[in-house]
Structures are given as structure tokens and as C-alpha cells.
Amino acid sequence: MKKRTLYGALLAGLFGLQACQSVEQLSIDYLIPAEISFPADLKRVAIVNNMPEVPDNKLVSSKEEETKGETEVARQTAYYNGDARIATEALAEAVAERNYFDLVVICDSALRSHDVHPREATLAQEEVRQLTNDLGVDILIALENLQLKSVRRLDYVPEWNGFYATADVKVYPTVRLYLPNRSVPMATIHGNDSIFWDKAGVDEDILGQLVSEEDLIKEASEFAGTIPVKHLLPYWTTAPRYLFTGGTVNMRDAAVYVKEGNWAEAIALWKREYEQKKGKKKMYAAYNIALGYEMQDQMEEAHHWAVEAQKVAYVLDGIEQKQNSNQVRATDVPNYIMTTAYVNELEGRKNSLVRLKVQMNRMNND
């Protein structure tokens, strides 16, 4: 479920080309702003289940297809309604855990209890007013649809002389936000993600033993309830970062300061290195300076120095001479790709800070 960033994927491969330079991988934790920004006066929220109760949860009967792939033996595809009650509870718990609102309440019984088929029917303004008043909240977050697509696959693995079974379930929750003074929803979120099971064995029966249909729906629905949260609230992410540590006395001494958490002294040594050196050593120093400032949340300085590293890389890799060529590969311009990836990463962080500050104001920037 975790997705590697483009920055991390590029640099992991490109640093293999830096044979004469020691590279150390670090990680950084930082907040990502949500897609939705709530006014500061919206402090009490209710999570409600606006999906119908469906007696027969399965929408389409599972179908088994014998395929002719090199290793694929069988595939079963099925579509379900998710369990709205479980998903609503998971959503409420995930929102409450963030401590973003003063109060989080849940109404997990289906408001559309007389419906037979799922429908994305928005709540009427009068319904919203009645619910917010009854629940004592400022805003409603309503789960309004939850679809699951399950693909079970069985492969024969000659190297094992056995079988490998997988179940990949894609989940599609739909959530809407309602305010009592608005006649239409404040926002609609169509989330999607996937959850995965696997199992190896010596016979084909493992496909049926992988995960029961009941457990699949239950666990996928619980997982689906957590998906809208990153669209609604700021969330923490962990990203890879890379530090150049060798080649000169200054770089080695700075690496010691980094291990002690003394970024100021490390930056001072890297700046000395930057002024004294040329070529790759100058680029490595500028790159490290950018990292040092980012680790201290000084994003303007971090971006400035990343651009400086990019400028050096531009000359190192002869970008001006190669930019009109159709034969240039990534391995021909590794320094420019590496530094540009970091510049882009920092630009994204820098541009999101204003929105993040607005969203975190209710927490006094704590």
C-alpha cells in the first residue's frame, strides 16, 4: 500500500553510479496538507453511514476463468458492496485518532435503511440540519458508497514445484461533507486503494484457502474506512533522503556532526567545502547543505541550495550540449537528474506550506 516516491526511486538507482562517493540513506518525517481545508470554527464532526443496507452483499457472482498465461492457472473476479457499518466505524476511529477536531461522534446505522440497491443519494439540506442538531456537531462526513473488486489469482511456480495464490482487493469509498447552511455538499471524495493477501502451497487448493469471502469483505471494508482520512486531514509521511559523506576531511567531519544531530556545524563545513571545491565535490556540498536546511524545516534555504547543486550538475553533465539530442539516457546525465529530483521534491514541500499552515492553525501550530 505504500508507494515509493519518484524522488526515492530515481535516486536509489542513480546513487549506484556514484562509485567514488560514499552515500548514506536517511529518512525525514513531515506533514502533508490535506485536500480539504476546514474553517477553524468547524470543531465538532459527525461520521455518518449514508449507505443502504443490502441483504445480499455480493453484486456479481464470482466467475472463474482458466487462462493461457505462462504461469497463471486460474483467476476469480468478484464485485461486492463493502460493509458500510465497519467502514464508518473505521473512518470515525481514524479521524478521532488525529485529534484534529474537538469532538468526533459516529452514527453508523444506515440512514438509507429502506434502500435495496446502492445509490449515491446526497442528504437533503433539511436532513443535514436535523442530523447536525441532533448530534450536536458543525459538519457531517458521510460514507455514501463503498465498492470492492476482488481478483484471486493462482500461479504455478516451476522453481518451487508448487503454487502461489494471491487475492488483490481494490476498494472504492465515496465520502461527502455536509454543512447545515449549504444546499449541496461541501466536497466529495472518491478514494481508492488496494489490500493484498498471498499464500504458497504444493497444490491448487490454496486459492480457496487464502482468505474467506466474509473475512475479505470485513478486512477490506475496515481498510477502506481509513482511506478518506488523508484527503480530509493533514498526515505524516516518511520520505527517503541521501547524504554524501566521504571524499574529503570536511565531508567526513560533517557526517560526524550529522550523527550527533548538529546540523548547524555540518552545514558550516559543507559551505566551506562548497567555496573551496569544484565539480562533483562542489555539487555534493550544495546538495548536503540543502538537506541540512530541510531537516531544520528551513525550506527557502533548502530549495536555494538544491538549485545551486542543480546548476553545478547542469555543467557537469553537459546538459546544454545534450539537450537537443534524442540519444541521451538517464545514465548520461545522472547528476542533473539526481539534483533536479530533489529540487522538485523541495518545491512541492515549499508550495504546500501555506495550505498546511492554514490547516494546522486550529492546533496552534503544535
- Separation of CA 309 from chain center: 28
Which CATH number covers residue 337? 1.25.40
pLDDT reported for residue 91: 97
99 and 217 together in one domain: yes
Do the domain assignments include residue 1? no
Query: Rounded CA gap, 12 and 241, in Å?
Result: 10
Residue 366 has pLDDT above 60, yes or no: no
Residue 286 has pLDDT above 50, yes or no: yes
Do the domain assignments include residue 358? yes
Query: Among the ranges 62-66, 267-271, 334-338, which has the highest mean pLDDT value?
Result: 267-271
What residues make up the domain containing 330?
6-26+242-363
259 and 201 together in one domain: no
Last residue of a domain, one of 188, 212, 232: 232
pLDDT reported for residue 116: 54
Question: What's the one-letter identity of residue 312?
Answer: V
How many structural domains is the chain composed of? Answer: 2
59 and 20 together in one domain: no
72-81 vs 58-66, strand pairing mode: antiparallel
The band of 72, judged by pLDDT with boundaries at 50, 70 and 90, is confident
81 and 222 together in one domain: yes
123 and 15 together in one domain: no
Query: Rounded CA gap, 324 and 190, in Å?
Result: 41
The band of 6, judged by pLDDT with boundaries at 50, 70 and 90, is very low
Rg (CA), the chain: 26
Q: In percent, how much of the chain has pLDDT > 90?
A: 69
Query: Rounded CA gap, 50 and 104, in Å?
Result: 17
Cα distance from N-terminal residue to C-terminal residue, the chain: 29
294 and 356 together in one domain: yes
pLDDT (tens digit, 9 = 90+) per residue, 130-161?
A: 999 999 999 999 999 999 999 999 999 988 88
pLDDT, averaged across the chain: 87
pLDDT (tens digit, 9 = 90+) per residue, 304-334?
A: 999 999 999 999 999 888 777 777 787 888 9
Closest CA to 288 of 341, 346, 245, 336: 245
Model confidence, pTM: 0.77
51, three cell numbers:
449507505
Residue 108 has pLDDT above 90, yes or no: no
E runs forming strands in 160-306 = 162-178, 187-190, 193-201, 235-244
177 and 57 together in one domain: yes
pLDDT reported for residue 329: 80
pLDDT (tens digit, 9 = 90+) per residue, 10-60?
A: 555 555 545 456 899 999 999 999 999 998 889 999 999 998 776 555 554
> Average of pLDDT values for 97-109?
91
Do the domain assignments include residue 13? yes
Query: Rounded CA gap, 124 and 184, in Å?
Result: 8
Do the domain assignments include residue 155? yes
pLDDT reported for residue 43: 93
> Average of pLDDT values for 280-291?
97
